[in-house]
Amino acid sequence: MNTTEKVLFTKKLNELAINDELTGINNRRYFNEVMKRTFDMFQRDKVSFCILMLDIDFFKKVNDRYGHDGGDALLKSLACTLKESLRDIDFLARYGGEEFIALLPNTEKSDAFIVAQRVRLAVEKSIVQHGTQKIRVTMSIGGGEISPGDKDYESVIKRADVALYEAKNSGRNKVVIA
């Protein structure tokens, strides 16, 4: 392997380490690294942040109706929609399956609600063309804000996850901020 090939190979490995292979956005592992640094900054500087957990409503029905390639097309398209709907300072990642997560730095929960509603509406309005068919979905979003009593960033993620399930259990296509 020559020097150019080694450089390209190293670059590709670095991309795979931080990006989700399907959607091209950040992956969960890299999100956790960023969260650790963000939590450390919170402990030092007391800078507020919020987490949004975003889950596609009834994603299994999409896979059942359009096949896994239809589900993949939807995930790729929604990753773009989410990125475009979030602010430049926000950090988006695929958290697993049909679930995404966003870090909203320097954000309190009232502003997180506004951001989450904008994202939810953008997803609701989006149409994914898959062959001759159009796929439409909605998204439920749960949010959590860092609290002075939090011992780690996982506490915020857990609050956001509980809020997400509250959004799903109260009818879906909703935003709930803990």
**Any idea which residues carry the catalytic annotation?**
98
| Tokens read off for 43 | 């402990």
Tokens of 56: 């596609």
Output 46-49 pairs: Cβ under 8 A, ≥24 positions apart: 46/148, 47/105, 47/106, 48/106, 48/107, 48/108, 48/145, 48/146, 49/103, 49/104, 49/105, 49/106, 49/107, 49/145, 49/146, 49/156
User: What are the structure tokens assigned to 111, written together?
Assistant: 């502003």
